[in-house]
Amino acid sequence: MSDARTRILGKVRAAMGRETTPTPADVQAARAGALGKGTPQRPVWEESDLARFCRCIDDAAGTWVTVPTLAEAGTAVADYLAEREAGTTVHRAPDPRLDHVAWPGHLAVERATDGRKALAAVSCAVAGVAETGSLALVSGPDNPATLAFLPDYHIVVLGTADVVPWFEDLWARMREQEGFPPRSFNFITGPSRTADVEQTLQLGAHGPRSLHVILVENMP
């Protein structure tokens, strides 16, 4: 296999008329020359970042609700399940932040290490991106990735202070965090969908049929 590697890299270098890989300094200089230092072109909005974030969730056929504290997220979960007639069992991610949630007594709350048995699941997002209304989830023991894909109902808890304007802001934040990148860093924008049958949009293709965001104003 290493022969194939040598030949492929050799052909790239031959095409560029050089015998060795350029140095990091050369590549950085070339990049600065090609892309400049200006901000990339991206969407802009007049409303607040949080308002934009919520509007984009609406556009993506997701739903959202705001609660003052994490404790109150429990009632929000129960209300949502009742409204959707989605039963009274919920599989929560082991994320320690969810320990602060006051779960109503009639809910059966189970800690999930994956999404295999869950009909309704609750995860925690690390951030929200206002630009597109996307939730950012970090896979790991706290928030198993499959919990976001196997259930029919996916509920995501997010602190309002964790909504950033653009993707570049998110990357700047994530680069500082230990353990980044995780195995799977998921941007979720609305529920699962397909238009593969006659270009007709249908929600709930393989992943969740509905996505609900609980925005916590005072996230610990």
Residues 36 to 65: which contact another protein by CB under 8 A? Answer: 40-44, 56, 59-60
Q: Residue length, the chain?
A: 220
Q: Segment contacting another protein (CB under 8 A): 73-81, 97-105, 128-136, 157-165?
A: 128-136
**74 vs 208, beta carbon nearer another protein:** 208
Q: Segment contacting another protein (CB under 8 A): 63-71, 120-128, 141-149, 155-163?
A: 141-149
For residue 171, give the H/E element and its range.
Answer: helix 167-175
For 75, the 3-state DSSP assignment is helix
Q: Is the peptide bond before 181 cis (omega within 30 degrees of 0)?
A: yes
In angstroms, what is the minimal distance from the CB of 158 to another protein? 16
Instruction: Single out the residue of 67, 76, 91, 115 in contact with another protein (rule: CB under 8 A).
Output: 115
* 25: contact with another protein by CB under 8 A: no
Q: Segment contacting another protein (CB under 8 A): 28-36, 72-80, 155-163, 212-220?
A: 28-36
Measure the CA–CA gap between 208 and 211, rounded to whole angstroms: 7
**10 vs 68, beta carbon nearer another protein:** 10
Measure the CA–CA gap between 90 and 18, rounded to whole angstroms: 59
**168 vs 217, beta carbon nearer another protein:** 168
In angstroms, what is the minimal distance from the CB of 200 to another protein? 5
In angstroms, what is the minimal distance from the CB of 131 to another protein? 8
Q: Segment contacting another protein (CB under 8 A): 68-76, 82-90, 96-104, 186-194?
A: 186-194
- From 134, 147, 149, 155, select the one nearest 82 (Cα to Cα): 155
In angstroms, what is the minimal distance from the CB of 83 to another protein? 20
Per CB under 8 A, contacts with another protein among 142-161 are 144-146, 148-150
* 112 and 129 Cβ atoms separated by less than 8 Å: no
Measure the CA–CA gap between 107 and 171, rounded to whole angstroms: 37
* 165: contact with another protein by CB under 8 A: no
For residue 25, give the H/E element and its range.
Answer: helix 24-35
Provide the Cα torsion 89, 93, 94, 96; round to 10°: -110
Residue with tokens 């009742």: 82
**12 vs 51, beta carbon nearer another protein:** 12
